[in-house]
Structure 1
Amino acid sequence: MSKGDKSAYTDKQKRQVKHIEEGYEEKGVPAKEAKRRAWATENKISGGGRKSGSGRAH
């Protein structure tokens, strides 16, 4: 997976990113920066892309 590849994320995570991005844009953040911040926020919330297996550490 190359840097910036979003294929490891679930549809729910992608929807959440879109919603977060819209919130940043409403606050006046430029679109490119809003997108970057939205993915960073999602990574902080979920810990990144898909996780498999039970008992993964938080």
Structure 2
Amino acid sequence: MSGIVADTAGNPIAGVAVTLSGPKTLTATTDEDSSFDLDAGDGGWALTVTADGYADGT
């Protein structure tokens, strides 16, 4: 799974912790262009993002 994390105005956010919980737990941190990439296979996953100064998202 890969993606970009942005605020409600569409501005990219670097340094966001992205966690996938499911068959196992995977964690990544967004880079300077706010992108992340996690090697998740099949299964039921829950995505959580956390960043200082922002409400957690799921």
TM bucket (normalised to shorter chain) is under 0.3
Give the TM-score normalised by the residue count of structure 1. 0.25
TM, length-normalised to structure 2 = 0.25
Using CA pairs below 8 Å that are at least 6 residues apart, which structure has the higher relative contact order?
Answer: 1
Whose Rg is larger? 1
Task: Compare the two structures and name the one with the higher helix fraction.
Answer: 1
